[in-house]
Amino acid sequence: MKIKTDEVTSVLKQEIKNFNKDLKVDEVGSVLEVGDGIARVYGLSNVMAGELVEFQNGVRGQAFNLEENSVGVVIFGDYTRIEEGFSVKRVGKIFEVPVGPELLGRVVNPLGEPVDGKGPLNAKKMRPVESPAPGIAMRKSVHEPMQTGIKAIDAMIPVGRGQRELIIGDRGTGKSSIAIDTIINQKGKDVICVYVAIGQKESTVASTVEMLREKGALPYTIIVTASASEPAPLLFIAPYSGASMAEYFMYDEGKATLIVYDDLSKQAVAYRQMCLLLRRPPGREAYPGDVFYLHSRLLERAAKLDDKYGGGSMTALPIIETQEGEVSAYIPTNVISITDGQIYLQSNLFASGLRPAVDVGISVSRVGSAAQIKAMKKVAGTLKSDLSQFRDLEAFAQLGSELDAVTQSQLDRGYRILEILKQPNNSPSPVEEQVISIFAVTKGFVDQIPVAQVREFEKFLIQTIREQHPEILEEIRTAKEIKAEAAVQKTVKSIVEHFLSKNR
């Protein structure tokens, strides 16, 4: 058989041409020691800070500490399956998570992997977990309301789109309930919500998901969960993953988004654990020196973008747990100084039956009435000062001294305001109905109603206006103000009289 030399040479030429293309070189290191979600790796001399690495059993990690002779890697997965001597290779890219509309209605872990048993996500886009916050030139002042559906908050501590409002209080005072009510209240408002559960029990997360499904809030919500049983690195990275998922909708689709971090105290503890294991020097309360930067670089990503950048927004509701009401502790003061106000929940108010247990005295919104509709601004203008005065008078009245008629009427009004502000869990109220309730109490119409019947009256008032005067609610909803105030006063007055005659 005769061999054609030109055929042989062409094959050889092709092989030589493809030699570099086919040759894949991985930079591989090996594990020196491993434990508690941290591995020390030797041999990855060109690895980037924050780069993903992969262990030989498929578990992934991130280069966190770049030292002279080794790399400190945090492990995103089961570190018990990694042994000394395992090979580790560079993935060649910074840590990214899948983003996009495919994630809506899903429960994912901080790596963006589904954990709800509904199959793969099929997301078409990825986004880095750490990304810079928008600069001042890209931002616009906060001017649109992000209604929570909770009367006490929308009337006195309003939250605007693009704001960062801290929810702070002891354990078991209803912090998560406020955040979940706010998510439920976004139904039909074209707001994308991301709920990040950090260090919670899996059963708690499951019941939250079920609640959102029941209320019809799941289709516009993404749940990112790093449960208490997960290693510390996953708890640390979860808020950043959630922020990236929300940022896609803010930047790429120009939408309003709401993100809840529940809660950042647990993230700080996870970060402290990682840093101590990586031998980073401890500071106050054994937290590393950059724990402020941990939260500031996360919360600065919340913004209201200027119209020329799409006009999207990201509103952040971080949650911080205090110990025995200690607001001046290290982590609470850090987050208070980063955010644009705080909603402070007090355990003694909670125990006395005031739900939500908002302490109006030290709760504040630095955006203020800029985040309220005109109607709410008008009816709730004096509500906060009235309530603060009531608290002072109440303390004075407990001394048992005789009170004059004016003081007594202020006290009576205060008790009725408290009753109107009470609200059950998972039942946010539309802003137009809130305006009517607060209008009735601040204008003195509720003064004739016995305190024990105030909540029953409020239900009757809203029901009657819904059925017989829907045009009043429609006007507040569309025009965002009460134009014919005299007519509304007349209507409310007749409803009060009807209620009193019915309950005699």
- Rounded average pLDDT over 466-470: 94
Residue 277 pLDDT greater than 60, yes or no: yes
208 is in an annotated binding site: no
Where does the chain hold its CATH 2.40.30.20 domain(s)? 24-94
Whole-number average pLDDT of the chain: 92
Tell me if the pTM is above 0.85.
yes
Of the listed ranges 107-116, 384-393, 422-431, the one predicted with least confidence: 384-393
CATH superfamily label, 378-503: ATP synthase alpha/beta chain, C-terminal domain (1.20.150.20)
Q: What class, spelled out in words, does domain 98-372 have in CATH? A: alpha beta
170 is in an annotated binding site: yes
Percent of the chain with pLDDT over 90: 81
352 is in an annotated binding site: no
Task: Look at residue 136 and give its three-state secondary structure.
Answer: helix
Catalytic status, residue 504: no
- Rounded average pLDDT over 413-425: 93
Whether residue 111 contacts residue 242, with contact meaning beta carbons closer than 8 Å, is answered with no
Whether residue 117 contacts residue 106, with contact meaning beta carbons closer than 8 Å, is answered with no
The better pLDDT of the pair 6, 184 is held by 184
Cβ density class 141-163: b for 16+ within 10 Å, e for less: ebebbbbbbbbbbbbbbbbbbbb
In the set 280, 366, 455, 477, the catalytic residue is 366
Q: Extract the tokens encoding 37.
A: 């979600």
CATH of domain 24-94: 2.40.30.20
176 is in an annotated binding site: yes
Pairwise CA distance, residues 382 & 479, whole Å: 22
For residue 28, what are the β-bridge partners? 89
Where does the chain hold its CATH 3.40.50.300 domain(s)? 98-372
- Tell me the DSSP string of 145-196: B---S-HHHHHHS--BTT-B-EEEESTTSSHHHHHHHHHHHTTTTTEEEEEE
Listed ranges 21-25, 163-167, 475-479, 489-493; the one with the highest mean pLDDT: 163-167
333 is in an annotated binding site: no
pLDDT band with cut points at 50, 70 and 90 for residue 409:
confident
